[in-house]
A and B are shown apart, each in its own frame.
Chain A
Amino acid sequence: MTEMEKYHVILFDSVHHALRSEKILKGMGIPHKLIPVPRHISSDCGVCLRFTIDLRNKIEDALNGKVDIYEIRPL
């Protein structure tokens, strides 16, 4: 599996939602990484959260209803 296939990213409309999500995931001990939005993806806020694919459901459950997610997509 290549690096690209291993990860998904969560995109947000606002940096504040990205930061709120980071706080929630940190609090729950769910591994993730705040990275600049890759050049081939566009988003208004410029930062996104990267995570390994196996954590997708866990992360969606953790953030559901607490932050506005623009999109979750492969890296």
Chain B
Amino acid sequence: MAKTIDAKGLACPQPVLLTKKALGEENNVTVTVDNEPAVANITRLGKTMGCTLHIDKREDGTFQIHLSRDAGKIPSAPLDLSCATGPLVIAISSDRMGRGDDELGYVLIRTFIHTILSLEPLPHTVIFYNTGVKLTVKDSESLDDLKEIEKKGIAVIVCGTCLNYFGITKNLSVGVISNMYDIASTMAGAGRLVIP
């Protein structure tokens, strides 16, 4: 039996959750989504669940993903739902990495940000809050790295309350200003959340 899911317009991780549920009921599932991160997340889920995948990019910009699970086939890896249910999110909560020495912490956070683009897979979103927002404004020494990160299609969201608190809102030079609803739901929807 086959099941068809229309997951267009749904926010992450809904498409993945619906697909996972459907694969629990049927061996053949076709999902339609409208963004590439959803394709990547469903692909990862399919592989984890031992499915054969076929992806069609359609002219209207949507993607149709066909997943078929061979009956009786055991997934190659143990089912890791913690990874399969949402994207990788990085939350930069300070302009220092670690606690102890501020000068060293500032070196570490800059080198961490420089390293984000070499991660595999890339994160879906990088969030900045508290003093972390200072890394996203004019004259930040991490600005060139963050612009590259944004150029790669990774969402960069910056806490508006925090920019306002430090009086640097007008200096924001990368990413989009966001609120606690977005920040909390992005963090809660993450498959893995990395806070350096």
Check if A34 sits within 8 Å of B111, measured CB to CB.
Answer: yes
Check if A34 sits within 8 Å of B141, measured CB to CB.
Answer: yes
Check if A47 sits within 8 Å of B111, measured CB to CB.
Answer: yes
Is there a chain B Cβ closer than 8 Å to A66's Cβ?
no
Check if B103 sits within 8 Å of A36, measured CB to CB.
Answer: no
Is there a chain B Cβ closer than 8 Å to A24's Cβ?
no
Check if B144 sits within 8 Å of A47, measured CB to CB.
Answer: no
Q: Interface size (B, Cβ < 8 Å)?
A: 9
**What's the least CB distance linking A48 to chain B, in Å?**
10
Complex Cα spacing A47 to B111, Å: 8
Check if A33 sits within 8 Å of B104, measured CB to CB.
Answer: no
Interface footprint category on A: under 10
Is there a chain A Cβ closer than 8 Å to B114's Cβ?
yes
Check if B104 sits within 8 Å of A36, measured CB to CB.
Answer: no
Chain B residue at smallest Cβ distance from A22: B107
Complex Cα spacing A34 to B144, Å: 12
Residues of B contacting A15 with CB < 8 Å? 104, 107
**What's the least CB distance linking A51 to chain B, in Å?**
13
**What's the least CB distance linking B194 to chain A, in Å?**
16
User: Which 8 A-B residue pairings sit nearest by Cβ, starting from the closest?
Assistant: A36-B111, A35-B114, A47-B111, A36-B115, A34-B110, A47-B107, A36-B114, A35-B111
Q: Which residues of A contact B (CB under 8 A)?
A: 15, 18-19, 33-36, 46-47
For this complex, 9 residue pairs linking A to B, each with C-beta atoms less than 8 Å apart, are A15-B104, A15-B107, A19-B103, A19-B107, A33-B141, A34-B110, A34-B111, A36-B114, A46-B111
